[in-house]
Amino acid sequence: MTHKERVLKYIEDFGSISSLEAFTELGNTRLSASIWLLRHEDELEIESITETKLNRYGEKTHFSRYYLKGSQFENNLINKKVIKKENILKKIFKGSDK
Mean predicted confidence (pLDDT) in 34-48: 97
Residue 78 confidence (pLDDT): 82
Residue 62 lies in a domain: yes
Residue 40 lies in a domain: yes
98 falls within a domain: no
Count of domains observed in the chain? 1
Higher pLDDT, 72 or 42: 42
Has residue 81 been placed in a domain? no
Q: Looking at residue 88, what is its pLDDT?
A: 72
Does the residue 75 lie in any domain?
no
Could you tell me if 83 and 93 are in contact, meaning their C-beta atoms sit under 8 angstroms apart?
A: no
Domain contains 89: no
Residue 74 · residue 81 · CB < 8 Å? no
- Would you say residue 76 has pLDDT above 90? no
Does the structure show a pLDDT above 90 at 85? no
**Domain range enclosing 39:** 3-69
Q: What is the mean pLDDT of residues 23-44?
A: 97
pLDDT at 91 (0 to 100)? 73
The average pLDDT across 5-25 equals 96
Domain-located, residue 43? yes
- Residue 63 domain flag: yes
CA distances from 14 to 29, 57, 60, 83 (A): 19, 29, 25, 23
